[in-house]
Amino acid sequence: MTERRRALPAVGTVIERPGIQALATRWTRTLVTEAVRGIIAAARTGGPLPSDDANWAMAIDARLAEQTRPSLRPAINATGVVLHTNLGRAPLARAALDAIGAIAHGASTLEYDPEAGVRGSRHTHAARLLCDLTGADDAIVVNNCAAGLVLALQALAAGRETVVSRGELVEIGGSFRVPEIMEASGTTLVEVGTTNRTHADDYRRAIGPRTAAIVKVHRSNFAIEGFVAEASVRDLRPIAQDAGIPLIHDFGSGLMLDLSPWGLTGEVTVPETVRDGADLIIMSGDKLLGGPQAGIVLGTRDTIGALRRHPLARALRVDKLTIAALEATLGLYRDPARARREIPALAMLTESPAAIRARAEGIVATVASGAVAPCESTVGGGAFPTARIPSFAVTLVDDIVAVERRLRHGAIPVVGRLADGRLWLDLRSVPPEDDAVLVAMLREALGPGGR
Ligand SMILES: *Cc1c(COP(=O)(O)O)cnc(C)c1O
């Protein structure tokens, strides 16, 4: 220890070296000084001490790169959960990225009508396309699905009662609990039915003079089996109509296309649920729709009008980048085959197991490590909670706890899953364009240079 301490250089002498001075042009002198101080402090407690200028430069670079990197960074989702809320849900299509770039760099027609030369409304942009694609009369886009529900209940049911099934008072994703969101929206919950069975008559009996709305919540992330019954949107529609109150459908997923040819069955699509006739349908933009985070609210002209006029609409409105990405994503749905190919969430969910296997074999050959094994992916956010999609993974067996950790700690974190004594990197949730990055990160984590 004494030997070591004696060998530590002074900060000043390190930063005066020519090889280190050059770094100040890339970073700043202050940052370089701080980094040198940090490295020397770490060496005092046993950390590595660079031996020459080149090593100092590398150590300083590495330290500053880590210190100055953004908190929100790209990552690789190799969990096999395609729409992973913690990993940012849907990756955007190229068309959506281009649209964001085109709108972000300068002025735009966000609230300006260039034909008429007058002020316009940001609410008009995606609305027309949403109506064309879904058959809805009108639409408004807000921050996320939760915001859509808050706005709907505030505008239509605040200070009065909302009827909801006990089987639908669920938690969906982090911190979205249907009963809590509803209460926070100023409406009083009237629970009907039981956890496993709720009938149309339960709703009918609960409706009274203070009832403002019926809410129907989609079963997004769980399934119940056995002695079960629920009233569908179609069952509830005449009940709401007779009572003269809106039927609000918290639909969640935003599934636009029938994915049953790819084995994903049992969920209705947005156009189908629009035909079922709820007054309002609320869904996320970044789940199966495959677009940016947004809350899309479809409905009748009257109900959407009421939402648009509510003061909260201003607080929950989306920014121009979201509108740009959403409009571009929706535009792809004009041609369903194109949407399926170009919207990454859909491309991932429908990629053939054979194609995934070939990618996995390529990666294993390139890194000369691991093996290819079959596995099952899941959809994640918003729909098909029980679906298991055949897939393939790159699997590793040696020193997996350390490798898993190094993969997470890399410049681009790779998130896989540890199970059955192996580390699984399921390629279904990795866009094929990211395979090269995954290889680079794997090399770093596996190689002797990996930290
Ligand atoms: C995912 C989901 C939500 C929450 O959506 P966010 O866009 O995350 O606010 C609400 N309701 C249902 C039915 C969902 O599936």
* Same domain, residue pair 369 and 428: yes
* Same domain, residue pair 103 and 58: no
Alpha carbon of 273 to ligand 1 centroid (Å): 16
* Same domain, residue pair 245 and 355: no
Taking phi over 0 as left and psi of -120 to 50 as alpha, with beta for the rest, 274 belongs to alpha
Which residue, 317, 340, 363, sits at the end of a domain? Answer: 340
146: in domain: yes
* Same domain, residue pair 403 and 367: yes
Which residue, 340, 368, 395, sits at the end of a domain? Answer: 340
145-157 vs 301-309: helix crossing angle, rounded to 10:
90
- Is the separation of the CB atoms in 396 and 403 below 8 Å? yes
Which residue, 322, 340, 358, sits at the end of a domain? Answer: 340
Pocket (CB within 6 angstroms of ligand 1): 144-146, 172-173, 176, 217-218, 220, 250, 252-253, 284, 295, 381-382
- Is the separation of the CB atoms in 157 and 187 below 8 Å? yes
Which regions of the chain are under pLDDT 70? 1-6, 173-174, 448-451
**What is the pLDDT of the chain when averaged over all its residues?**
94
- Is the separation of the CB atoms in 425 and 413 below 8 Å? no
pLDDT digits (tens, 9 = 90+) for 308-333: 999 999 999 999 999 999 999 999 99
DSSP 154-177: HHHHTTSEEEEEGGG--B-STT-B
Alpha carbon of 206 to ligand 1 centroid (Å): 26
User: For residue 301, what is the domain's CATH number?
Assistant: 3.40.640.10
- Strands, E, within 253-408: which ranges? 280-284, 295-299, 371-380, 389-396
The alpha carbon of 381 is separated from its chain's Cα centroid by a whole number of angstroms, namely 8
* Same domain, residue pair 278 and 424: no
* Same domain, residue pair 305 and 421: no
Q: What is the pLDDT of residue 448?
A: 66
Separation of alpha carbons 284 and 254, rounded Å = 6
Alpha carbon of 145 to ligand 1 centroid (Å): 5
Strand partners, 371: 395
Range of the domain at 246: 92-340
* Same domain, residue pair 60 and 96: no
335: in domain: yes
* Same domain, residue pair 294 and 169: yes
Whole-structure pTM value: 0.92
Amino acid at 217: V
* Same domain, residue pair 231 and 264: yes
* Same domain, residue pair 293 and 145: yes
Which residue, by CA, sits nearest to atom 14 of ligand 1? 252
Alpha carbon of 168 to ligand 1 centroid (Å): 13
* Same domain, residue pair 168 and 262: yes
pLDDT digits (tens, 9 = 90+) for 29-76: 999 999 999 999 999 998 899 988 899 999 999 899 888 889 999 999
Ligand 1 atom having least distance to the Cα of 217 = 13
* Same domain, residue pair 336 and 351: no
42, 167, 256 from 135: Cα distances, Å: 63, 29, 12
Q: What is the pLDDT of residue 6?
A: 56
Q: What is the pLDDT of residue 18?
A: 85
192: in domain: yes
Alpha carbon of 90 to ligand 1 centroid (Å): 13
Ligand 1 atom having least distance to the Cα of 253 = 15
Q: Report which DSSP code applies to 87.
A: G
pLDDT digits (tens, 9 = 90+) for 130-179: 999 999 999 999 999 999 999 999 999 999 999 999 999 988 866 789 99
User: For residue 408, what is the domain's CATH number?
Assistant: 3.90.1150.180
235: in domain: yes
State which H helix or E strand residue 138 sits in: strand 138-142
125-134 vs 320-332: helix crossing angle, rounded to 10:
30
451: in domain: no
The fraction of the chain above a pLDDT of 90, given in percent, is 84
- Is the separation of the CB atoms in 322 and 337 below 8 Å? no
Number of domains in the chain: 3
Q: What is the pLDDT of residue 449?
A: 44
99: in domain: yes
